[in-house]
Amino acid sequence: MGVVVTVSQVNKRLALLIKNDEKLRSVSVRGEISNFKEHFPSGHMYFTLKEGNSSIKAVMFRSYAEKLEIYPENGMNAVVSGSIQVYERDGACQLYATEIDREEGKGEDALSFEQLKEKLFKEGLFEQKRPLPVQPKSICAVTSATGAAIEDIINVLSRRYPFIRLKLVPVLVQGTGAPESIAKGIEVAQNSGCDLIIFGRGGGTSEDLSAFNAEIVARAVYASKIPTISAVGHEIDFSISDFVADMRAPTPSAAAELAVPDIREIYGGIVALKNRMGEKAAAKIEETRTKLENISRIISGLSPSVRIENNREKYTKTFASIKKDFSAVILSKETQLKNTEELMNAFNPMKTLERGYSVISKDGAVISSVAEIKEGDTFTVKMSDGEFMAMALGQ
């Protein structure tokens, strides 16, 4: 066994070796800028300088960054000057930049990205945008079985829509063979019985995400019979597959948010719908009750007994008026009859007879003169209480 040393001793040794290398104290490195990030609180800039399959991390502190005449951006060809040092805590070798000079043209990776993007755009692969299922029953996740992406997707789906069935199609998401693995995974998902496919991975460097810029992946996504959501990297990262998918999500978690509704919102919607239905039903019942009451009043008004009852007072007043008028007529007639009776009594012969007078008649004819009777004639004498026969004896 050799000499045992600590990690910090190794890192210090490396730092010392690099620091004593005069060729690395002041160096200018040509490459393509990627993974550029500016730390706004501190003002420091962090990026990667790459060429082909080789790369080196770089940092430019604020004091130098403030003096830059150009603003670095991903895909830019540049010559970065500074010194190579080892960051002892991580044992990482990186370029401490003091100057950045732009070179004409884009970097190799950026140029390849733009060329493929233009090619697929002209072929119409970016135009297919199908609607996502509103309430999918099953989702297929095409991603790494051990990455953070699948964990994020599971957590969000469990919280938002616990009824969903999730099937994982494990694939390589970076490194050699990753594009072929992803394309195959999307193809396998076609026969999974799923309603929706989420494919992607968590964040990383542009090199880590490069598998999703492969043409084979783009064409597999376009050929999918099932709607797709691309969830590659962080919010600021864009890949070729983002443009081909039916929908792009900035992160795997966001993809899960887009994929399913929130059960709490569904429940709230059901409660709101129930309340609206209850309000409409109550309004309809009240409207029907009012109509029934109106109809009942109309029917009641048409009932003979009700009509008679309603007109009873009128009939009573009319009857009383008729009775009064009839009584007056009767009284008038009684008065007339009494007057007539008195008049008749005044001219009644029997009343005269009652006063001592008599009526003499012969052969049924009334004798009004002595000359109408001869001696020996018989005649009838009628008095108030009877009559008798008499004979004329002479004059």
Rounded mean pLDDT for each run of 10 residues along the chain, 395 residues in total: 84 88 90 87 90 88 89 87 90 92 72 86 92 93 92 94 93 92 95 93 80 93 95 77 93 93 86 88 90 83 70 76 79 83 72 72 80 79 80 72
Q: What are phi and psi of 48, to 5 degrees?
A: -120, 140
Q: How is residue 370 annotated by DSSP?
A: G
Write down the pLDDT at residue 344: 74
Contacting residues for 367 by C-beta, under 8 A, at least 6 apart: 360, 361, 373, 379
Question: How many angstroms separate the CA atoms of 81 and 93, rounded?
Answer: 15
As a whole number of angstroms, the longest Cα–Cα distance in the chain is 211
Burial letters for 345-384: b for 16+ Cβ neighbours within 10 Å, e otherwise?
eeeeeeeeeeeeeebbeeeeeebeeeeebeeeeebbebeb
Distance (Å, whole) CA 49 – CA 153: 32
What pLDDT score was predicted for residue 395? 58
106, β-bridge pairs = 76
Work out whether strand 228-232 and strand 76-87 pair parallel, antiparallel, or are unpaired. Answer: unpaired
Q: Which pTM value belongs to this model?
A: 0.57
What single-letter amino acid sits at 157?
A: L
pLDDT at 23: 87
Look at residue 62 in the predicted model and tell me its pLDDT. 92
